[in-house]
Structure 1
Amino acid sequence: MSTHRFTDLLRLRGPAQPTPITSPDASTLAAQLRDECEAMARYALHHGLPVAPELIAQLSALLSKTAPGIPVAAQQSTRDNAYALAAMHRKLATAIAPATPQAVTLLDAQHHDHRALAWLGPVPLIRLLTVAALGFLIAVIVIGLSPDVSSENIDRGFLQSNGTRLLWNVLFLLFCAGLGASFATLFQAHRYIAASTYDPKYDASYGARLILGLIAGLILVEMLPARLFDQGSMHSFGKPALAMLGGFSATAVHRLLQRLVDTLETLVRGDRAGDADAALQTQRSRAAHERTQWQSELAASLLDLQQSLDTSASGEALRRRLADFTRSMLAADSAAAPPAALQNFQSTEE
């Protein structure tokens, strides 16, 4: 088609009509505002939070006007609706604090989404952790039925046992550590769910905590010397209990290993605490000496100012001396006094 003919067709069609802005980003943002405002309003009403009735009424009317099924021509100004939704969103977020709009919306959507395993938890993370905890519990019971799993065989450890007997006992300890790790992660995740501050971006950290719990439980039981806990209250704990404790708190095992490493470095390099204390005392003595010297120079400057007042000095010279003395007094509050201020003060001519 030639250019002239295409131009003639455009003229016959008349001026181009403005098309509404329906970009994916704009529609997604508007849908997010609607969903979060509606979820926060339901949350506030269910929990009896103090929300203004007119705010709920305005939100209900605005949601009915901006429903996705209503044509654009029948809606009000898109910009005005977005502004009103954003303002209501801020007010509702302040009303439901410390709960977050994201967590409230996610929990509200999961509540209305009826699933077969919904009784295991309100979000997929809780359901996965619950299944993991049940799996570790069943595994501990099943492995414990084996005749090779006993306190004598567990106490032998890696170096005094072998074969299938060692495999069953190590699996039993690993499942005990996993039971403690899954209990800790599930308990912590439930705290965020109860407070409605759950954030899905931290889901991967819970899987890492499960793995760290398994490793920490095995390290605490098999890798560390058995006499390490003889002097504490943990000497009466068996290896399964220690494995569960290690899985429950991997950070405690990390601190224990870090303390052992610090002790080893102290034995190799010597105790550096004495050197640090000596350096600190030297620094304090130097600071005290400098402060005493500074106070003496201030006293001398004050006497010089008093003598200037007794003489027939001009008013301008007295004002300069008084200003220099004031700056010197303000500088005296610092740890190290600037000597240049005193030199300028003492060398001021009349």
Structure 2
Amino acid sequence: MDIPHTEDLEKQQPTMITNSGFLDQLENECEALAHYAFSKGITVPGNLMRLLNSGLSEEQDVRAHQVTDIYNQLSELVAPAKPQTILLMYDENKKAPPFLFLGSVPLIRRMMAVALVSLFSLIGLSLSGAVNNENMVASMFDLQGTDLLFVQAILLAASAIGASFAGLFKANSFVTQGVYDPKHESSYWVRFVVGLISGITLTQLIPINLDAVAQSTTDMIAVDTNSEANHAAIRITTALLGGFSANLVYNLLDRIVETLKSFITPKKVQNPAVLRQQLENQYRKEKLQFVTQLSQELLLIKQELASDDEMCKDKMQKRLTQYLDILVNGEKNIPAKK
């Protein structure tokens, strides 16, 4: 019998260690899935837990088959929750970071921190004397120095509150359902930055009639307030809405671009060949409808002749006259029966 060389054993050993480590990882995921199922009140078969606790084989192949079978059954039990999300929350609970109460996944905690910083920044900036009704209503091109800096900062803070609120609401719904995917974390931060841009764009670069908005708001809430104060509040609220719904600003800008494009771009002239084909198709369609109508009328006359062998000459003449009207006018005009 051939004795394997030392080099061959060294090549085989990393593979065995890797397989063993992967099985250990699967066992850890099975433990997380079982913990999640029990916490949600899902019935877990006792044989699965008994096998997972102390019934796994020492042989790699048999153990791999057992762990895979347990993993698949537990995944079906916790569906539609994803095992990746469950494992992430399970590991976070085991690590017990200091700010775990803010969220069970890192994204929620980071975005919660950004939202709190934005909220405190909004409150702190509002204490400055530079943030007043006159400066808030003024355009960014009418201000300068620290006044402009404080106004833009408070609008940016309002936009950040709206953007973080939208991101938190969306991410929390996925985490609650157990379908949150960590690989999409960057997309939430992209939406957050886009929300900041949208808030500033909507409040500073897109002209909005604050008088009309303030009047409609006052009429809606039926409160007699200072119009200038309404303008400042509307400016802050607009920044918050711009951060919350970046799609709103995108659609608004896209509509403006399409409108300008319609004035600049000349109207396309339809291809004569395509127009001719459309007219021919329309003619064939109308011709088919007309022939079908004539065929139906002839069939009715034939049925009347078959059912009434003694049809008088006047009645026959009347039916032929009606048929002639269809040929000439293209419309059926039959008097109502008495």
Assess same fold via TM > 0.5.
yes
Inter-partner Cα distance in structure 1 for 2:275 and 2:209: 39
Q: Which letter maps to 1:34?
A: E
Shift of 1:288: 5.3
What TM-score do you get using the length of structure 2 for normalisation? Answer: 0.70
Displacement after TM superposition at 1:153 (Å): 0.6
Cα pair 2:155 2:200 within 8 Å, conserved: yes
- Compared with structure 1, are the counterparts of its residues 247 and 48 closer, same or farther at alpha carbon in structure 2 (3 Å cutoff)? same
Instruction: Name the SS for the 2:44 alignment partner.
Output: coil
Using CA pairs below 8 Å that are at least 6 residues apart, which structure has the higher relative contact order?
Answer: 2
C-alpha separation in 1, matches of 2:139 and 2:267: 35
1:241 matched to 2:237? The reply is yes
* Deviation for aligned residue 1:231: 7.5
Aligned to 2:3: 15
Paired position in structure 2 for 1:321: none
1:95 partnered with 2:72: no
- Contact kept, 8 Å, 2:210 with 2:234, in 1: the verdict is no
Identity %: 31
Change (3 A) 1:206 1:193: same
Unaligned runs of 5+ in 2: 219-229, 291-338
Corresponding residue number in structure 1 for 2:24: 31
Matched, 1:260 2:248: no
Taking the aligned partners of 1:56 and 1:124, their CA distance within structure 2 comes to 30
Distance 1:185 1:279 in 2: 52
Do structure 1's residue 197 and structure 2's residue 190 form an aligned pair? Answer: no
User: Does structure 1 residue 114 correspond to structure 2 residue 114?
Assistant: no
Distance 2:156 2:30 in 1: 46
Following superposition, the deviation at residue 90 of structure 1 comes to 1.4
Q: Is the 8 A contact 1:217 1:244 kept in 2?
A: yes
- Paired amino acid for 2:25: Q
Q: Mind listing any 5+ residue stretches in structure 1 that lack a counterpart? A: 1-10, 66-74, 297-350
Selected match of 2:194 from 194, 206, 212: 212
After superposition, give the CA deviation of every residue in 1:27-76 in whole Å (9 maximum; x if it has no partner): 342122111111111111111224333223222234xx4xxxxxxxxx52
Code of the aligned partner of 2:234: G
* Matched-pair contact (CA < 8 Å) for 1:34–1:85: yes
Q: Which residue of structure 2 aligns with residue 128 of structure 1?
A: 110
Q: Partners in 2 of 1:197 and 1:139 — Cα distance?
A: 33
Q: Which residue of 1 aligns with 2:52?
A: 59
Displacement of 1:80:
1.2
Residue correspondences, number: 271
Is 1:151 matched up with 2:133?
yes
Shift of the alpha carbon at 1:286?
4.2
Residues 83 and 226 of structure 1, relative CA distance in 2, 3 Å threshold: same
**In the aligned structure 1, how far is the partner of 2:180 from the partner of 2:115?**
20
Distance 1:281 1:119, change over 3 A: farther
Deviations 1:110-135 (A, max 9, x none): 11212212112112111111110010
Q: Is the contact between residue 163 and residue 245 of structure 2 (CA under 8 Å) also seen in structure 1?
A: yes
Q: Bigger shift: 242-251 or 263-272?
A: 263-272
Task: State the distance in 2 between where 1:279 and 1:253 align.
Answer: 41
Counterpart-to-counterpart distance in 1, 2:59 and 2:277: 69
Contact 1:157 1:166 in 2 (8 A): no
